[in-house]
Structures are given as C-alpha cells and as structure tokens.
Amino acid sequence: MFYNDLFFIYDSSNIQDTIRVYKAWQEGYEAPNFTLALVSPMVPGTDYVLVANDICCVGHGCASSSMYFHYDGNFEDKPDLWPIDMTSETFSPSACESFQAGYSVNNMGSLPAGPFSVRGIVSYYTDGARIQETIFMKEYPGLDAGSTLKDSLEISVPDNFSLHTYVGIHVDYYDEVDEWTDYNNYWTLDFFNYNPVIVSVEDLPEDAGGWLTLFFNSSRFESLNEDISVRYDILRRIDDSEVWDVVGQVPGSGTNTYQCNVPTAADSGDGEQTNWSVYRVSLIVPDGVPPEETQIYTSCPDSGYSLDNSISTLLQAHSAMLDDSRVLLTWKLSNKGSSGIFTVDRSENGSRFIRIADPDIEGRGGEYRFLDDTVLPGRSYRYRVGYIDKESGIVLFETQAIQIPGADLALYQNSPNPFNPSTTISWLLPDAMRVRLEIFDVSGRSVYLLLDKKLESGRHSTRWDGIGSKGSPLSSGIYFLRLSAGKESITRKMVLLK
C-alpha cells in the first residue's frame, strides 16, 4: 500500500525547510509500521517533525498526527534500488507486433549497489488464470548512490483475448543486493489489448474452391463501447510481401464471435502443392471517437488453404479409434486413381491443423489405415484426411477430437518374439525423464546396454540385433529386458532363437 502524499518532514526550527517524501508504503493493511523514502537527505544533529495527514487504521478510523524526533546520523547505510518510471510509445499495440518500453532505476540508498539483475515480465489472463511470462533478464554491474540508470526492453504483444495486460520489471530479481527494503522493487505499466483474435481458418465445404471461412473473436473495445459503430476488415497478404489487401468486411454487431467467407489467392490440389493464404483481422474505430483520429487494432496473422470440393466423393466408410496408446484411422474408397496421394493433417488440443510429413499409410483393395504412434498422453487430437490427384484435391473426412488417456510408464512386449536376428522394443513415458534400457541373461548378468539418456514424454522405440556388449552375436536363449525410468523399472522376457 503506497501513501506518498500523506507524510512530510520539516526542521523544527524552520518549517520552510521541508523534506519531501518521495514514497511511503505499508506492507499490507495491518502492518505495524510505515517505510518512508526521502527525496533529499536529513542533516545529522537536527530536530525534525514528522507529520502524517489522514492516516487510516482498521477499526480506529482516520486521523492526523505528528511527532518530534532527533536525527543523529546513526541510520545504517545501505543501497536501495527503486524502479521509478516506465514509459511506452503505445498503450494499445497491435497483436504479434513489438514495441519499446523504457524504464528507470534509481539507487535511493546511501551506499553504491553491487551487481544486480532486472527481470522483465508480461502478464495477462487466459482461461480465467493469470499468466506471467519472463520476456528478458538483464544483468547490471552496479549503481552508485543517488544515481539513475535508464534502459529499455522490447515487448511482443500476446495473441489472446485478455483485455488488461501489463508489462513490468522486477529489480534485483535474485536478491543480490542487501537493500533497505525490497518491497519497492517492482514497477508495472498497463496497456489495453483491443486486438481481435483469429480462432481458425477452414476450407468452405462442398464448393468449387477459392473460398475459406474465417472465424474470429471480437475486440474488447466493441464490448466496452456498445454505442460506437465499428467494423472489422479482413486482410489477405499479397504473395510473400508485407502488403495486405482488404478482401472482406464485417460490421460490428455486439457478438463475441464472428465468421466470414473470404476468397483465397489460389486453390490447393495441383499435385502436392499447397497454396496457403495468410489473413489478419483489423478492428476499425471511425473518426470522432476519442482520441479523435481513426483507431485500428489488428490480430496476429493466420493461414489456410482452399480445395475444389465439387468432384464426387470417393469415401464409403471411415473410422478413428484408440489402439493402445495410439490413434488408428481407417477408411474405404470406391475407387482411387493410380496417381492420387493421401494427406493427413493433425490438430493437437484445438490448435490449427498441421500436415504430417510422409504419413505411413497402408492400403489394400480400396481399404486404408494410418496408425499415429506419436500422440502424447493426456492430449486430444483431430485428424483431417485428404486426397489429391492431378486434377484437384478434396478433404475425405475430418474426425472428432480423440482424447488420449493419461498413461503410466509402460514397456511393451518386443516384436517379434521369439526373434532372429533382430526385434523392436517400444515403451511409453508419461513425462520427460532419463531412461535406461538394459538386457540381462538368465544369470542376471548385464549383456548389453541399449540406451541411457533423457527422453521426451511419449512413445519411443528402438531395435536390438541380438548382439552383446562386445559387439558379437549372442547365443540362443532367454534374455530379460529392463526399462528403468525415474524411480520405476519394468522387465520383459525375450527369446532369441537361431
């Protein structure tokens, strides 16, 4: 709690000799005392009067009071770092753009400060929770008593639907300096996020191509200013330049979400080429609204591609299901040309679809299957399977979200088993951790170390060629595979037959 204007100090023999209180604060509503920071030093051997105006206490009301004290100069000398200012070139920046914010730090103490750090943060709300991200960490060699340093940081605006976002600095983040107090080591700068947010860009179904549907969240400016008429401009980037064309407009209607059909630059489906179109959405506030000039708030870009869906579908049946900890997609076509190829796009936890490179699709007699063994426990996935030939491309089907259950550490039976000369070993990690895979003979002697390193969460596999630690083939018999990860270990029996 800060009370800068409630205190002042003056020389008891000369009321005109007043020392201004730069900042006064109380560490919580029920703290027993106040801390004062003065603009100029007191003179040792002087009698002073401290005046407090309208100080309010819980349960006692508000009152003014004063006290006399003698300053003999015996206060302990220490440094005291204060962030004293933050400035910005804008208070409503566009999304996914950077801007500069300046800051100043003063050493209000009586001794120089040694090396210290400054942490820069950006904070905002998402899904009802306050998120705080570190955007920089900078080290300074020190600061003399009474001196001020000035610096700046570059800030990227997050792409979210949070109205109140702030940027801040935390001085002496690692508590390297023995200060008078560290309660005053923070400074924040608020700005307003009025930027609309593109939710998704999807192909317009059952059309002849050339169009997408763009879904976006409204600007917070619109919901806070219902009496002001606004519009949204949909912009498409021209080729790979920084020039944008307006390809659609949506009048503001007070809703939280909007959708708009927009043209693409070209269709996809010509061989394996995907023709992406990139879009942004800008809220346009007309002239005459404070601060009078036209205001524009722009989203981050997003992209999509259109397909010619006018040709008759080949799809007869399809399914998507969990297969152990993997996802199995199956589909059946009435006919498939010899030159056509399949594409598989995947969305994780509601994010945009990303094409899977070189999907391993098995097919026989018009029936096809794709097994995705790269999914992670506890996440959800949607799939979009397409078919592209020389003439055009279509989306065959899109699945509902498939939830992958959370998983414990698992070691699967090697395959094949028995084996000769090699076998595949697979396991599942619920979290990133160090893994040790080791093979033992029936006497318990270690004969080969397959793996010993840290791995990311998810499913993993490797091969064993039946060789021992000296590089020579092992004899036929029973062997044991042990997986050790964290505090757990799992063992499987393998049979090598020659």
pLDDT of residue 193: 78
The secondary structure of residue 143, as a DSSP letter, is B
Q: Report domain extents, the chain.
A: 7-71, 81-192, 199-307, 315-403, 410-496
- The CATH class for the domain spanning 81-192 reads mainly beta
**Does 289 score more than 80 pLDDT?**
no
Output the six-digit token pair for 160. Answer: 């979210």
Q: Is 154 buried (19+), middle (13-18) or exposed (0-12) by CB count in 10 A?
A: exposed
Mean pLDDT score, 5-16: 74
Each residue's pLDDT tens digit, 13-45: 877 767 666 556 665 555 556 667 676 677 888
Spatial separation of the C-alpha atoms in residues 72 and 444, rounded to whole Å: 79
Mean pLDDT score, 291-303: 80
Spatial separation of the C-alpha atoms in residues 285 and 292, rounded to whole Å: 10
Output the six-digit token pair for 225. Answer: 């200013």
Superfamily of segment(s) 199-307: Immunoglobulins (2.60.40.10)
The secondary structure of residue 271, as a DSSP letter, is T
Kindly state the helix (H) or strand (E) to which residue 200 belongs, with its residue range.
Answer: strand 197-203
Closest residue by Cα to residue 329 from 363, 293, 371, 294: 371
Mean pLDDT score, 214-232: 88
pLDDT of residue 181: 77
Give me Rg for the CA atoms of the chain.
33
pLDDT of residue 1: 38
Mean pLDDT score, 319-333: 90
State CA 444 to chain mean position distance: 47
Q: What's the CATH number of domain 315-403, 2.60.40.10, 3.90.1300.10, 2.40.30.60, 3.40.30.10?
A: 2.60.40.10
365 — pLDDT class (breaks 50, 70, 90) = confident
Q: Mapping DSSP to helix (H, G, I), strand (E, B) and coil, where does residue 372 land?
A: strand
Output the six-digit token pair for 199. Answer: 């939710």
Alpha-carbon distances, residue 24 vs 2, 45, 183, 444 (angstroms): 6, 24, 11, 71
| Cα separation of the two ends of the chain | 79
Closest residue by Cα to residue 151 from 140, 160, 142, 159: 140
**Does 425 score more than 50 pLDDT?**
yes
Alpha-carbon distances, residue 190 vs 100, 121, 166, 290, 328 (angstroms): 14, 12, 4, 19, 48
The per-type count for the chain, helices as H runs and strands as E runs, is: 1, 39
The secondary structure of residue 462, as a DSSP letter, is E
pLDDT of residue 496: 94
- Give yes or no for a contact between 24 and 36, defined as CB atoms under 8 angstroms apart: yes
Each residue's pLDDT tens digit, 85-140: 888 877 667 667 778 889 999 998 889 999 999 998 888 776 667 788 888 899 99
DSSP letters, 97-129, are -EEEEEEEEEE-SSS-B-SEEEEEEEEEEETTE
**Does 477 score more than 70 pLDDT?**
yes
Spatial separation of the C-alpha atoms in residues 278 and 260, rounded to whole Å: 15
487 — pLDDT class (breaks 50, 70, 90) = confident
pLDDT of residue 88: 83
Spatial separation of the C-alpha atoms in residues 267 and 447, rounded to whole Å: 58
The amino acid at residue 36 is: L
**Taking the CB of residue 348, how many other CB atoms lie within 10 A of it?**
15
Query: Does 410-496 carry CATH code 2.60.40.4070?
Result: yes
Each residue's pLDDT tens digit, 243-268: 898 988 999 998 889 999 998 887 77
**Does 312 score more than 60 pLDDT?**
no
The answer to whether domain 315-403 and domain 410-496 are alike in fold is yes
- Give yes or no for a contact between 252 and 218, defined as CB atoms under 8 angstroms apart: yes
Spatial separation of the C-alpha atoms in residues 190 and 163, rounded to whole Å: 10
4 or 294: which carries more pLDDT confidence?
294
- Give yes or no for a contact between 404 and 325, defined as CB atoms under 8 angstroms apart: yes
Spatial separation of the C-alpha atoms in residues 405 and 121, rounded to whole Å: 34
Spatial separation of the C-alpha atoms in residues 276 and 424, rounded to whole Å: 39
pLDDT of residue 2: 41
pLDDT of residue 59: 52
Q: Which of 60-69, 440-449, 483-492 has the lowest mean pLDDT?
A: 60-69
242 or 439: which carries more pLDDT confidence?
439
**Does 311 score more than 60 pLDDT?**
no
pLDDT of residue 139: 94
Kindly state the helix (H) or strand (E) to which residue 353 belongs, with its residue range.
Answer: none
pLDDT of residue 293: 65
309-345 core/surface letters (b: 16 or more CB in 10 A; e: else): beeeebbeebebeeeebebbbebebeeeeeeeebbbb
